[in-house]
Amino acid sequence: MGEQNNSSFKFKDLTVYKKAFALSMEIFTLSKQFPGEEKYGLTSQIRRSSRSVCSSIGEGYRKRRYEAHFVSKTSDADMENSETSVWVDFAFECGYINEITKNTLNDKAAEVGRLLNHMMENPEKYNRN
């Protein structure tokens, strides 16, 4: 984790950001198949929450010298990640994705959640000192 202290290290290099971004893009691709009637419902909600994970990581990382702000924004990312998982469950229950896809997406979201929780529990490892 020492590489986070390098001033040239960017939030887009974080494993959690890469995994969250990949999950968001996977959800975007899958949600293209959702019915048009879901455009302003499930489709927009699942895309928004999955993308918000990434934006909250970026915001928090830029303010990482302020531990409380870093933890707060990382907590926001975790909240959005949990919301994404809920929307995945709705997509499954509505018949838009199969159970294997639901489980795969939720497993990926759980992994992102574990990484975010590590960040919240160890904010000093992400400080730029």
Residue 1 lies in a domain: no
Model pLDDT for residues 21-51, shown as the tens digit of each residue: 999 999 999 999 999 999 999 999 999 999 9
Residue 6 lies in a domain: no
> CA-based diameter of the chain, in Å?
50
Q: How far apart are the first and last CA of the chain?
A: 13
Residue 4 lies in a domain: no
Query: Domain tally for the chain?
Result: 1
Per-position b or e across 69-93, b if 16+ CB within 10 A of its CB = ebbbbbbbbbebbbbbbebbebbbe
Residue 5 lies in a domain: no
CATH for 106: 1.20.1440.60
Tell me which residue range forms the domain holding 67: 11-123
pTM to 2 decimals? 0.89
Residue 45 lies in a domain: yes
Model pLDDT for residues 95-123, shown as the tens digit of each residue: 999 999 999 999 999 999 999 999 999 99
Q: What are phi and psi of 24, to 5 degrees?
A: -60, -40
Kindly give, in sequence order, each residue whose CB lies less than 8 Å from that of residue 70, ignoring residues fewer than 6 positions away.
60, 61, 63, 64, 119, 123, 126, 127
